[in-house]
A = this chain, B = another copy of it.
Amino acid sequence: MNVYLITIGEEILIGQTINTNAAFLGEKLSENNFDVIKSVTVADEESDILDEFKHAFNKADITIITGGLGPTHDDITKKCIQKFFRSKLIPNNEVLSDINSFLEKRGRKISKALEDQALVPHNAQVIRNYFGTAPGLLLEKDNKLFVSMPGVPQEMKSMFLNSVLPILNERRIGDTNFVQRLTLQTTGIPESMLSERLGNLTELLEGAKLAFLPNPFGVKLRITVSEHNEEIARNKLQEIEQRIRTKVGRFIFGKYDETLEEIVGRLLTERGLTISVAESCTGGMISNMLTNVNGSSAYFQRGVVAYSNAYKVEILSVNEDTLAQFGSVSLEVARQMAEGVRSTSGSDLGLSSTGIMGPRGATPEKPVGLVYIGFCDDKLCTARKFIFGNDRLTNKQRTAQAAIETIRRYLLGISIDD
């Protein structure tokens, strides 16, 4: 069954509020096997809203509307519903009593505007609101469903999960289409190269869909399988995952929304290993990411942000001759920084970054985007060179991610070179 989302409110159009309601509904509906075909935001203008109702009615089985149900003059969704469904407004006592007890709890008195919230279209089913005064509305016409909910996220979410979704799921019974989705998270390989390594997608996917979703930290691969039988869909998804892992498994660090630092944190905890970090170009971002994880104090020991050469020598025992000979942005200095922070901290592992993040600091031999990441344990001490882009913040993010990925590969015995 397909769903059309309509968000009403100028604050979304002018970018003052990010449309998290649509994301929430999209996620929950997809999880429950509904197919969200379109999501539209319009201003609080009657003609725009009615236009959109018409489109939605023609296109979709279910239309879900959020916003414009409040008590102030700019809330006109109910009026539009009334026109579209040729409704009369009638007072609803259950809603009125909900509003009264809501206000009572907060020591407030009812006003004319709030009393009007209890007027509902005669042909609507009322959905109760436990977190605010505007009830939700559910209407049906030619076997198509219209649901209208308030735009306040807390009110909408509770109403949707507790009342609306069960009703929608009830109607979905008999629907014979089972959609299964999986997202694999990769890092350290560009989108186009990932696509190349996966080879012939028609063979790989056998009718399933694959989306490439790049961000500064890596590329997500989203697989979507649609079958008439749930078991078949699940099995097919597993097979495709397996085929993808065979081809690019080493670049896959996790599923769904797991972060790389969570994965690495779990591995370090399991093995009882500790780590310390010496950062130059990332300026604290690696330590910051590692310590974003709950319980990271069990394995994260020290962080040092050493921009200056003097501090690299003083605190990390980097060799002055090495600095003079190779410069601070070099393989050798990255290696010595990692070793320095490891040995002075007594941690099992040492990690380091040095590079030129831009916009300043480049030389003819060392362009913006040049980065070295160093990594040491008690036996091995190594460093890798990267060349990233021109944007300072993205360079910091990509460097920090590549550094943390170095730990993951080390811990899993995956070759660090690609």
Flag whether A263 is at the interface (Cβ < 8 A). Answer: no
- Could you tell me which residues of chain A, from 206 to 222, have a CB within 8 Å of some CB in chain B? 209-216, 220, 222
| Residue pair A213, B26 in contact (C-beta under 8 Å) | no
| Residue pair A285, B288 in contact (C-beta under 8 Å) | yes
Given contacts A72-B212, A284-B303, contact A195 B113 (CB under 8 A): yes
Closest chain B residue, CB of each to CB of A17: B213
Q: List 16 A-B contacts (CB under 8 A).
A: A10-B211, A10-B222, A16-B27, A16-B220, A38-B40, A106-B388, A152-B214, A154-B391, A283-B290, A284-B286, A284-B288, A284-B291, A301-B311, A302-B304, A302-B308, A304-B304
In the bound complex, what is the Cα–Cα distance between A127 and B222 (angstroms)? 29
> What is the minimal beta-carbon distance from A266 to any residue of chain B, in angstroms?
15
Looking at A185-193, A237-245, A407-415, the stretch in contact with chain B turns out to be A185-193
Which range holds the interface residue count of chain A?
Answer: 35 or more
In the bound complex, what is the Cα–Cα distance between A74 and B208 (angstroms)? 12
- Could you tell me which residues of chain A, from 138 to 189, have a CB within 8 Å of some CB in chain B? 152, 154, 181, 183
Flag whether A37 is at the interface (Cβ < 8 A). Answer: yes
Per assembly, the copies of the chain total: 2
Given contacts A154-B216, A296-B283, contact A27 B14 (CB under 8 A): yes
Residues in chain B near residue A114, CB distance under 8 A? 192
Q: Which of B284, B296, B308 contacts A285 (CB 8 A)?
A: B284
Where chain A touches its partner, the secondary structure class is mixed
Interface string of A1-43 (1 = CB under 8 A from B): 0000000011111111111101111111110000011111111
Given contacts A211-B10, A387-B107, contact A37 B43 (CB under 8 A): yes
- Could you tell me which residues of chain A, from 63 to 109, have a CB within 8 Å of some CB in chain B? 70-74, 105-108
Flag whether A287 is at the interface (Cβ < 8 A). Answer: yes
In the bound complex, what is the Cα–Cα distance between A360 and B296 (angstroms)? 10
In the bound complex, what is the Cα–Cα distance between A27 and B16 (angstroms)? 7
Residues in chain B near residue A26, CB distance under 8 A? 12-16
A interface residue numbers (CB < 8 A to B): 9-20, 22-30, 36-44, 48, 70-74, 105-108, 111, 113-114, 130-131, 133, 152, 154, 181, 183, 190-193, 195-196, 201, 209-216, 220, 222, 224, 277, 279, 282-288, 290-292, 294-297, 300-308, 311, 315, 345, 358-361, 367, 369, 387-394, 396
Given contacts A24-B15, A154-B391, A283-B291, contact A71 B113 (CB under 8 A): no
> What is the minimal beta-carbon distance from A17 to any residue of chain B, in angstroms?
7
Given contacts A37-B43, A131-B389, A196-B111, contact A287 B296 (CB under 8 A): no
| Residue pair A304, B305 in contact (C-beta under 8 Å) | yes
In the bound complex, what is the Cα–Cα distance between A34 and B387 (angstroms)? 39
In the bound complex, what is the Cα–Cα distance between A336 and B303 (angstroms)? 18
| Residue pair A190, B284 in contact (C-beta under 8 Å) | no
| Residue pair A18, B14 in contact (C-beta under 8 Å) | no
Extra 20 A-B pairs, beta carbons < 8 Å, given A13-B30, A15-B28, A19-B22: A13-B39, A14-B30, A15-B23, A38-B41, A39-B41, A70-B191, A74-B210, A105-B387, A106-B190, A106-B387, A111-B192, A277-B305, A283-B303, A284-B288, A284-B290, A288-B396, A295-B360, A302-B306, A302-B307, A304-B305
In the bound complex, what is the Cα–Cα distance between A359 and B390 (angstroms)? 37
